Amino acid sequence: MRFHVLTLFPRMFDSPLSGGVIERARASGLLGIQIHDIRDHSQDRRRTVDDYPFGGGPGMLMKPAPLFEAVEAVMAAIPGGAAPVVLLSPQGKRLTQRVAEEMAQQDHLVLVCGRYEGVDERVRQHLATDEISIGDYVLSGGELAAMVVIEAVARLVPGVVGSCESALSDSFTTGLLEHPQYTRPAEFRGWQVPEILLSGNHGQIARWRRRESLRRTYERRPDLLESAPLTGEDREFIESLRRL
């Protein structure tokens, strides 16, 4: 999968995308992440990319022309010449695991990072095919949001996350929060690892984990239980929690 990021701050992407599974997948060619400086598409010698809002108001807006030309240059280099153009903005659709799964189906994704007070509305209407927000808070620009999208989507590309780190049991892929996990020592400062995990009984361990997953989701994110795939036994267990 290939990500094409358009930004005014290319250096922001240097270290977050170096390290861990992303770096390994980039080195193997499984992932490509190209960072493009929007300023390279400005149309004057001063490399202007922003301007005052018509009608007045505070701050500056990103001009449409450098953004359109930057996206067009990227598209010209993509086989087939088309890919989703995702504008990162607090006004977008909320990023969820489902949204990341849909994006992971694409061969190419163009991510446009807004800055200043916003972008000219024609970018939203005629250039972006999608608009994504990573949460209900305002960042100074879309760069960190684009990195979050890359990380969430890249992990879903087959081969990026090795089988021992499998993404399949991740929270949200199962629709539930993860059960508690422990490593050695079995006793640390007087705190014991639950006995069942030391028992070697894999059937019982799986059942305990499922229940702890359900318990944690019930306590912290009960909204997730409405759409998570649940068995009859799961439902009975949740009922028993409700009766407590």
Residue numbers at the binding site for ligand ADE (CB under 6 A):
88-90, 114, 133-135, 137-139, 141-142, 145
d(CA 187, CA 50): 59
Give yes or no: 239 in active site: no
110/139 with CB nearer ligand ADE: 139
130/212 with CB nearer ligand ADE: 130
* Residues in a beta bridge with 132: 93
Q: How far is CA 108 from the centre of its chain?
A: 15
* Shortest Å distance, C-beta 49 to ligand ADE: 16
* Shortest Å distance, C-beta 113 to ligand ADE: 8
Reported as type and span, the H/E element at residue 44 is: none
Beta strand pairing status for 85-94 and 2-7?
unpaired
37/143 with CB nearer ligand ADE: 143
Give yes or no: 117 in active site: yes
Give yes or no: 222 in active site: no
CB 13 within 8 A of CB 147: yes
Choosing from 170, 178, 212, 234, the catalytic residue is 170
Sequential DSSP letters for 59-93: S-EE-HHHHHHHHHHHHHTSTTS---EEEEEEEEE
* Shortest Å distance, C-beta 91 to ligand ADE: 9
* Shortest Å distance, C-beta 140 to ligand ADE: 7
Give yes or no: 90 in active site: yes
* Residues in a beta bridge with 164: none
Q: Any idea what DSSP says for residue 193?
A: P
Choosing from 10, 50, 90, 102, the catalytic residue is 90
Instruction: Pull the structure tokens for residue 129.
Output: 């095919």
76/138 with CB nearer ligand ADE: 138
Instruction: Pull the structure tokens for residue 147.
Output: 């990195």
Could you list the active site residues?
Answer: 90, 117, 155, 170
